[in-house]
Amino acid sequence: MKIALTKTIDFEAAHWLPKFPEGHKCRRLHGHSFKADIIVEGEIDEEMGYLMDFGEIKKVTQPVVEQLDHYCLNDIEGLENPTAEMLAKWIYDKLKGELPLLKSVVVRETCTSSATYFGE
């Protein structure tokens, strides 16, 4: 049986979007309470009845959360233009080696705005 699991991580961070036009509100330094859904997908072990332990996903994502939480994203290597789209890809790339079943990463800047990266 194929299934997808979602583990949500959250972090507080500031950023500014240098590629936006002068005068745009997102060009100024501002912060968000980010949430990111880490989605893994695969075939469950019929005997065990689960795909993987949510605690394992949390363990793998913790170093990423620590790297992002309460920092200015623009100061982090690879996030010089930290749009939601680029942040979703950055998180995906950081986790893929540790989570082979990683399917996608959804980054939510606000309750109504998100970006999803599915890998290449």
107 and 88 Cβ atoms separated by less than 8 Å:
yes
Q: Could you confirm whether 70 is annotated as catalytic?
A: yes
Q: What does the block give as tokens for 73? A: 């994203």
Instruction: Check 12, 30, 43, 70 and give the catalytic one.
Output: 70
Query: In what helix (H) or strand (E) does residue 40 lie, and over which residues does it extend?
Result: strand 30-43
Instruction: Check 26, 72, 85, 98 and give the catalytic one.
Output: 26
Distance CA 66, CA 63 (A): 5
Q: Could you confirm whether 72 is annotated as catalytic?
A: no
Q: Which long-range contacts (CB under 8 A, 24 or more apart) does 18-25 make?
A: 18/74, 18/80, 18/81, 19/81, 19/83
Instruction: Check 41, 109, 111, 120 and give the catalytic one.
Output: 109
Q: Could you confirm whether 26 is annotated as catalytic?
A: yes
Q: Which residues are catalytic?
A: 26, 70, 109
